[in-house]
Amino acid sequence: MGKSLSELRANPPVVRRSAVERVSLRPDLVAKLQTLVNELEDLAAQRSSDPDGPAKPQRLADRTIMRRREIEADIEAIAAEMTDFEGDLTLEARRPDGEWVTWCQLHPARRAPVRNPRTGEIVTDGEAGWQADQQITLGYCNSEALIEDLGTYAVAWDGDELKPGDWGSTIVLGRPDMKRLARTVVGLYENEETDLPKLRRDLSATLRPGPGSSSPDSSASPSDGSSDGNQAGDTTTTTPMEP
């Protein structure tokens, strides 16, 4: 049986949804690594595009092999250096839902183009940047405004609580990571609601021992690493906290 109303009044739960994202404080190294990986993939594609074609001159083939080895060595060195500047950044839905809705209303997504429903022709042009708002924040708010406000939601680095001033000085991220974090924040507030009665029924069916089960706990934990109600690999959590 759940807590009584009087107990809830005395000690109401404070629920803060959170998510953890792996990020890098060296976006320059990330960009270099991506360039090298792309070049390595291009060399591999050239090698496999025409395996039955005429053989390359030996000098050119040797040059390609040497370049591939150079790239692999550079990738290994950069990846090792990046390790010192990577970490798990914890984001938390620190604004209550009502405040989030108000914030989005104060920072609306930029207007998308209006099209004629019959011809598909653009009747009214969209505002500059509307594509980013659709891609990053799914049209819930202005993506640039949310990126600027990410410090509101960043609470910890590798489990250590961030102090005032850390965001933007110690924790400085590249544009790709900032876009990804903005999408994560939107997800903290705008994920589909859970049907609790259905979830309870599913749990009962999952936990019910089947024929030949040796104990009622034998099927309690999914073997794929996922948790009930969440997809495997989903880092979003809901943590009850004392007020």
Percent of the chain with pLDDT over 90: 54
Lowest average pLDDT, out of 27-31, 60-64, 92-96, goes to 60-64
What is the Cα–Cα distance from 86 to 198, expressed in whole angstroms?
A: 39
pLDDT of residue 161: 97
pLDDT digits (tens, 9 = 90+) for 104-135: 999 999 999 999 888 889 889 989 999 999 99
* 3-class SS of residue 172: coil
232's tokens: 């495997």
Task: Indicate the pLDDT class of residue 205, thresholds 50, 70 and 90.
Answer: confident
What is the Cα–Cα distance from 126 to 110, expressed in whole angstroms?
A: 8
Task: Indicate the pLDDT class of residue 54, thresholds 50, 70 and 90.
Answer: low
pLDDT: which is higher, 71 or 229? 71
92's tokens: 């938390």
pLDDT of residue 18: 93
Strand partners, 88: 22
* 3-class SS of residue 70: helix
pLDDT of residue 77: 94
What is the Cα–Cα distance from 93 to 239, expressed in whole angstroms?
A: 11
The overall pTM is greater than 0.75: no
pLDDT: which is higher, 161 or 223? 161
Q: Is the pLDDT of residue 51 over 80?
A: no
For the chain, give the mean pLDDT.
83
pLDDT: which is higher, 220 or 43? 43
* 3-class SS of residue 9: helix
Lowest average pLDDT, out of 14-18, 51-55, 90-94, 217-221, goes to 217-221
pLDDT of residue 213: 54
What is the Cα–Cα distance from 53 to 241, expressed in whole angstroms?
A: 66
pLDDT digits (tens, 9 = 90+) for 175-192: 999 999 999 999 999 986
pLDDT of residue 53: 53
User: What is the rounded average pLDDT of the residues 13-19?
Assistant: 82
Lowest average pLDDT, out of 22-26, 55-59, 198-202, goes to 55-59
Three-state secondary structure readout of the chain:
CCCCHHHHHHCCCEEEEEEEEEEECCHHHHHHHHHHHHHHHHHHHHHHHCCCCCCCCHHHHHHHHHHHHHHHHHHHHHHHHHHCCEEEEEEECCCCHHHHHHHHHHCCCCCCCEECCCCCCEEECCCCCHHHHHHHCCCCCCHHHHHHCHHHCEEEECCEECCCCCECCCECCCHHHHHHHHHHHHHHHHCCCCCHHHHHHHHHHHHCCCCCCCCCCCCCCCCCCCCCCCCCCCCCEEEEECC
pLDDT of residue 56: 58
